[in-house]
């Protein structure tokens, strides 16, 4: 089996590297020449734990080849398209990159004699495969879908920071298929890839597979907004703690413990985009998804809880210095897309605060967004130095090492807002000038 992957972003490069790691020949294709040069020189355009090693190994063994030329996919049996599908300003999904990729793939398929499968991993609205991708392929290849080529919806469910594990050992593999030949080829690929690992295979039609991705992320986002709502209730009731509530309800098999971690809201490239997209999709079909609208609204407001809690302890924040620990939207990534830190910093700046920031990995990405509006620090201790208050925004492991002694040693005024519950209230309450944690009713 030889596979080509079109689009070497987070999903595409991870998919290509993992396929090649398992001994499947992979050609990775991207129109960005600089990106291809970087990856070829073992310089990844983003950070993902364990990915660099797999890319390096696969390139060295020549199981992974990289190119900007779509003609190189001609030797493959399956082409996986993973190009971006960002939201437009009006909330609808921009499918222009996908259509361009499909047209380029179709031109190569035109010259092939054998049946070729095009699998879509890009997140797309239901109806995209049949309504946009298949016509583009038919138009440029001169062939008919299910006759000269096959089309499949094969959505991904990768978590940044855990993408390798999620690719190699997924909870499920969803295949949206409309013909037997495509099904057989995709099953052959995944039997080879998941050799000795029993995977839950979900076989549906194309539209259902496309909707599953949105439904999956929308549910997880709703679960996060739910527990943040409970956290905000706990904040108002003395003696309650959202972590204990989450632990208890998570023991219920109908609920489960995952994604019940209260905090400052979700960010990243998937949840905000996909929740907005499924709301738009529903409204286009005449239905108002009020539950998802409230999920989105709760998440948009949640970051400001950090500033609200800080103002309880320091009502007038003018001319104060605040240390912000963590900038990336989650640990183990440099991704700043929809990071809640940006909202918090803008709110602090509007109140006349001098903001000092530190993140173990995302400083360079943050500079592209925050420019010179904040003071960038190289260490946690430097960030804390002479600060009037500190807000923990991202749950990096090193922030768990904070102690009251450390705050007293470095800070001007020992006030801490733990927006991610990486510290223990029992350790800090009464030991520093002011302490508050999300979802902990003092």
Of 270, 377, 383, 390, which residue is the catalytic one?
Answer: 270
Tell me how far apart the alpha carbons of residues 227 and 244 are, in angstroms, rounded to a whole number: 12
Write down how long the chain is.
442
What is the distance, to the nearest Å, from the Cα of residue 213 to the centroid of all Cα atoms in its chain? 13
Region at 297 (left for phi over 0; alpha for psi -120 to 50; beta for the rest): alpha
Residues 6+ apart with CB under 8 A from 328: 334, 335, 336, 339, 341, 359, 361, 362, 365, 394
Core vs surface per residue 302-313: b (16+ CB within 10 A) or e: bbebbbebbeeb
Which tokens go with 14?
């991870």
What is the distance, to the nearest Å, from the Cα of residue 124 to the centroid of all Cα atoms in its chain? 16
Q: Could you give the residue ranges of the DSSP H alpha helices within 314-394?
A: 340-350, 363-370, 380-384
Tell me how far apart the alpha carbons of residues 321 and 212 are, in angstroms, rounded to a whole number: 45
Tell me how far apart the alpha carbons of residues 296 and 404 are, in angstroms, rounded to a whole number: 36
* Cβ count near 291 (within 10 Å): 12
H-helix or E-strand spanning residue 150: strand 149-153
Tell me how far apart the alpha carbons of residues 89 and 155 are, in angstroms, rounded to a whole number: 24
Longest Cα separation, the chain: 75
Q: Are 273 and 86 in contact (CB under 8 A)?
A: yes
Residues 6+ apart with CB under 8 A from 170: 157, 199, 200
> Which of 256, 254, 298 is CA-nearest to residue 275?
298
Which tokens go with 428?
């800090």
Tell me how far apart the alpha carbons of residues 58 and 396 are, in angstroms, rounded to a whole number: 30
> Which of 226, 290, 304 is CA-nearest to residue 258?
226
Residues 6+ apart with CB under 8 A from 187: none
Tell me how far apart the alpha carbons of residues 244 and 226 are, in angstroms, rounded to a whole number: 15
Is 377 a known active-site residue?
no
Q: Which residues does residue 149 pair with via DSSP β-bridges, in sequence order?
A: 116, 145
Residues annotated catalytic, as ranges = 270
């Amino acid at each position: 089996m030889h596979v080509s992957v079109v689009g070497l972003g987070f999903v595409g490069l991870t998919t290509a590297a993992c396929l090649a790691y398992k001994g499947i020949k992979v050609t990775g294709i991207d129109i960005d020449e600089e990106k291809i040069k970087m990856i070829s020189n073992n310089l990844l355009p983003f950070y993902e734990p364990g990915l660099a090693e797999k890319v390096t190994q696969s390139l060295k063994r020549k199981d992974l080849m990289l190119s900007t030329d779509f003609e190189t996919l001609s030797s493959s049996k399956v082409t996986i398209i993973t190009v971006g599908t960002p939201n437009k300003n009006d909330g609808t999904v921009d499918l222009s990159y996908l259509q361009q990729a499909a047209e380029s793939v179709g031109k190569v398929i035109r010259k092939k004699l054998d049946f070729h499968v095009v699998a879509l991993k890009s997140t797309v609205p239901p109806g995209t495969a049949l309504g946009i991708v298949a016509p583009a392929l038919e138009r440029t290849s001169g062939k008919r879908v299910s006759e000269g080529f096959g089309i499949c919806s094969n959505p991904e469910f990768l978590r940044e920071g855990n993408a390798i594990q999620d690719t190699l050992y997924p909870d499920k593999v969803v295949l949206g298929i409309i013909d037997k030949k495509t099904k057989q080829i995709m099953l052959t690929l995944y039997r080879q890839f998941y050799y000795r690992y029993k995977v839950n295979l979900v076989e549906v039609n194309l539209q259902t597979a496309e909707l599953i991705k949105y439904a999956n992320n929308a549910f997880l986002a709703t679960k996060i907004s739910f527990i943040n709502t409970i956290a905000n209730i706990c904040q108002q009731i003395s003696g309650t703690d959202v972590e204990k509530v989450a632990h208890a309800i998570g023991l219920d098999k109908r609920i489960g413990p995952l994604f019940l971690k209260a905090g400052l809201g979700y960010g990243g490239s998937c949840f905000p985009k996909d929740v907005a997209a499924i709301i738009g999709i529903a409204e286009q079909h005449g239905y108002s998804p009020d539950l998802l609208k409230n999920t989105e609204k709760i998440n948009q407001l949640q970051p400001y809880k950090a500033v609200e809690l800080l103002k309880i302890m320091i009502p007038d924040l003018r001319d104060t210095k605040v240390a912000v620990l963590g900038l990336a939207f989650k640990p183990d990534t440099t991704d700043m897309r929809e990071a809640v830190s940006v909202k918090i910093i803008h709110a602090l700046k509007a109140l006349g605060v001098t903001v000092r920031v530190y993140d173990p990995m995302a400083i360079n990405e943050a500079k592209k967004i925050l420019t010179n509006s904040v003071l960038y620090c190289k260490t946690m201790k430097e960030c804390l130095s002479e600060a009037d208050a500190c807000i923990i925004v991202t749950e990096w492991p090193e922030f768990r090492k904070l102690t009251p002694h450390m705050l007293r040693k470095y800070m001007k005024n020992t006030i801490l807002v733990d927006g991610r519950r990486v510290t223990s209230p029992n350790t800090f309450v009464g030991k520093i000038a002011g302490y508050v944690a999300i979802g902990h009713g003092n």
